[in-house]
Amino acid sequence: MDGNSITTDEMRALEMNAKYLGVSHSVLMQIAGREVARVIIDNESVGGKSVVILCGLGGNGGDGIVAARYLDEAGARVEVYLLGHEKTISNPDTMTNWNTLKNLLRIFTSSLQTESAVRSCRAIGRADILIDGLMGFGLHSELREPLLTAVRMINRSKAIKYSIDVPSGIDSDTGAVHGDAVKADHTIALHASKIGTLKAPAYVGKTHVVTIGIPREAADICGPGDLSYYNRPRESSAKKGDFGRILVIGGSDVFSGAPALAGMAALRSGSDLVTVLAPDPVVPAIREYSPNLMVKNLGAQILVPEVVDAVLKVSESNDVVAFGPGLGLDSKTKEAAVCLIQQFIDRGIPLVLDADGLKAIASSGMRFNPDITVFTPHWGELSVIMESKLGKAGNLQNRTEQAVKAAKLYDAVILLKGPIDVITHPTGRIKWNRTGVPAMTVGGTGDVLTGIVASLLSRNGGAFRAAAASAFVSGLAGEMAAGDLGDHIVATDCIERIPHVFATL
């Protein structure tokens, strides 16, 4: 999101995060409707004027229905027409406000359920002011009847036309016209202009941006809105591999748990296929963790330069590499790690770098791609890659500043783990995650987070979005585990609850 416009996904995320913070959709609708009315009252002499509001069955229609009360209060002669049967209203807050409106005898209400009913509605042609509350943001397909006819009737009217948020018929992301679109004299943008309206100036008219009560913090925290991008139903045509092929490279001659935990977390986060590439001595142990993991021998006792080419070959058939859990700090391992990571950078392979993989790149001077790379350090690991003492670990401002510096130094997204996780981007963009509990200090929870990040990174939402959503998931899974088991949780308890986090949305 830039400072002037917002995408459909970003707006939905903000609304969900606002609700998570306690600001309900109902509250937002009340404020939005009041602000729509205010803009019209400020720009028109509404006293005694005929104001006709055409409302859809969703939230945009609800905004228009709420506006009707304020316009009536200002002295307008208000008529509200619902496009469709009231029993099919899809938004519960819209239904509540519609029922309220029906109790008010001064405001005329009716429903237009067919194309012919819309054509017969004389109020559209004789209105002084028309308000388009049909669709709002989120339209990505052709308008259906009776909405299409309603749009055309609005355009034929000589009334002054106001659209709520987005002129109906305009794709809120691309600006494409789906069949036909309202040619508004004014568009009242809720919270921020939708990016598609900037691409369709002929339909938008004069834009008025109004605030609707979304806290600024809704954009700063990690919440259910950040996760919503990754929690959509799968198409019936989906096939194996469509939701991510993850390669976990980790383990050493003695450590087997870390890469296995990362792999299982990736599977529980929705990835289709997870391969763990590990040193020969620990492969049998990792296979024992779960038959769902595909486990391959590294061909050596530890990661060494001699196996780099073989590792690269395996990586070619995967979408994301999670590198570092339990890898060890042998000098040959570090040499091989630096070589591999540079190859991943050169080949544009999405990468999650954790634990010993992070330590290997200290003083390397490497630069990454922040669109496809996430580092997941704790405070000590951040100090290693920054090669300096970072000051107080418990000071959130200091933690944030140091994470931003690291993001800029390495040109990567940083997910700094802690009581409050800090997610930063080289551009200076920041999010904080407040989910999680002290019981998550148990070993292995960081490896779980690595697996979640790898899984979400494979779904093309970008590294920053994946990191923010993953931090939220990991922390909430830990909260659920601690809620059931108290302070006696282990990392696998968190993994088991990952699907429950997705189910809460």
The string of pLDDT tens digits covering residues 349-369 is 999 999 999 999 998 999 999
Burial class, 195, CB count within 10 angstroms (exposed 0-12 / middle 13-18 / buried 19+): buried
Distance between CA atoms of 378 and 456, rounded to whole angstroms? 20
Buried/exposed code over 359-384 (b: 16+ C-beta within 10 A; e: otherwise): bbbeeeebebbbebbbbbbebebbbe
How does the average pLDDT of the chain come out, rounded?
A: 95
Q: How do the domains of the chain map onto residue ranges?
A: 5-220, 232-503
Structure tokens at 21: 């913070």
DSSP structure class, residue 79: E
The mean per-residue pLDDT over the stretch 66-95 comes to 97
Distance between CA atoms of 273 and 240, rounded to whole angstroms? 8
Examine domains 5-220 and 232-503 and report if their fold is the same.
no
Q: Is the pLDDT of residue 1 over 80?
A: no
pTM for the model stands at: 0.93
Does the CA dihedral 379-382-384-390 come out positive or negative?
Answer: negative
Domain 5-220 fold is: Rossmann fold (3.40.50)
Strand 413-416 and strand 421-424: the pairing is antiparallel
Q: Is the pLDDT of residue 3 over 70?
A: no
Q: Is the pLDDT of residue 4 over 80?
A: no
Residue 316 is predicted with a pLDDT of 95
State pLDDT tens for residues 190-245.
999 999 999 999 999 999 999 999 999 999 999 999 999 998 888 888 888 889 99
Distance between CA atoms of 418 and 441, rounded to whole angstroms? 9
Q: Which helix (H) or strand (E) holds 400?
A: helix 396-410
Domain 232-503 fold is: UDP-N-acetylmuramoyl-L-alanine:D-glutamate ligase (3.40.1190)
DSSP track, 444-476: THHHHHHHHHHHHHTTSS-HHHHHHHHHHHHHH
The mean per-residue pLDDT over the stretch 9-28 comes to 96
pLDDT-derived band at 23, boundaries 50, 70, 90? very high
